[in-house]
Structure 1
Amino acid sequence: MFYWFLKFLALGPLLKLIFRPWAEGTENVPKEGAVILASNHLSYSDWLFMPLVIPRRVTFVAKAEYFETPGIKGWFQKKFFSGAGQVPIDRSSGSAAAGAIATQLRLLSEGEVCGIYPEGTRSHDGKLYRGRTGVARIALESGVPVIPLAVINTDVVAPPGKVFGRMARPGVRFGEPLDFSRYEGLEGDRFILRAVTDEIMYEIMRLSGQEYVDLYAQDAKKRDREAEREAARTAERAESDEVWDQIKPE
């Protein structure tokens, strides 16, 4: 893993020196054995700062296309994502979601640490949104503990839509492991999956201090885009009416 080596021997210390990331509750992350790290998702930089504060490699799933681009560019891209702890989604499954779950279950069976963003996408406004139940299914099928965590200030360092924002100290707050063994064998019950997911999201909310919105992040983004377009149309109509009032004949 060339880039992994480069990241932690070169880029990692540099990021630590510049941003001085802080961490709380790192003792909750086991030194060995499979575990799920369930995080809020504020910025594209989350995957970078969170693994920096613990000694174990954290693996995330990524689109298979990132690993299949031909040529020299594709080779460097593959090395980048592989070294950064990303693995391709299993495309033999019926859907991307099923493929992601299958990949993470395989990694957990091998004793890996899997990073998961239950919201499914980055928050566009800093709020915490409803979790997808995939994290619950993975937890119940694998039988491994879930450690809720909150990244802090990564959206200040790298806000949505920008490469860089402003200097701030990013942080990571790890909660205590959550054990869902009481639901063993119930991974097919959608009510149980929702209850488990909501419990995880509650702990993330408690750790992050974010405002919780019981709506999927993708739906919230769509709602807010539509609201912005409607506001723009209203402003245009108001401006047109104002111009007409000024030029209309008496």
Structure 2
Amino acid sequence: MSRPAFALRDAEARLLVEQMAALTLRHAHNVRNHRPFVRDFIAAVFHATGKTYSAPIYRRLLGAYAPERRPSTSTLAAEKTLFEQQLPAMAAVAPLASTPGNAELLSSMLRRVVDEALAGAGSVNGDAGSAQQQRAYTEYLRDRLESAESALAASRASTARLAADLQEAVNTARLYHDQLEVAQAAAAAQATLLGALPQALHDMRQFSLRAIDEVRGETRAVRERCAYLEETLKERETMLETFRQVAYRHGAPIPGQRKGGPAS
């Protein structure tokens, strides 16, 4: 079964891309001598991934992120070996660079070491090979110093971004907290209204029942009054009829009958 193709994770690729702009700008004047660029590129890959890789992997990464650079395999292997030899020293000074004050001290120390190396290179008397090696080492120290300063600037920029993100998160949390308090106050008011609603409904029901009872009582009274009036009317009609019969017996004219003769 074949191995999966090598690829950086998204976060590693993003960190490497962020460093490539500074690398390209720093080495734009020297496109033929690939060694300083390869040196910083290996350091950038290590900063992004925390690992070192073989020369073929570095060549593949260069093809993806810096296709214009085509160093030899021996250059890649040599710079990787040199970088791995420098890792213990870098790990020793890494805690010093974690704070701004120590980072400034470390930068000053590196500058002093480079200056002393430059001064020593000017005063060294020996064969041409030793002087050339000293100049190469001095150039390496200068490149490492620039790389450290670039990494320091990137760390400061990242810290500033993280601080801004943190402040934004704090502001958002404060806004959400205020909105939550408003929502809780509204919920408490609604709960109070809901708590008073059963009593209000009970009072309305009692009022309705009393009103219905009163209407029923009034209706009963009206009915009784009507019955009484009807009974009174019947009695008066009966009395009136009795009076009429009595009047007829005593000679009172019957309505509709002419005087002097019987009614036709």
Bigger helix fraction = 2
Greater relative CO, 1 or 2 (CA 8 Å, sep 6+): 1
More strand by share: 1
Please confirm whether the aligned pair reaches a TM-score higher than 0.5, indicating the same fold.
no
Structure with the greater alpha carbon radius of gyration? 2
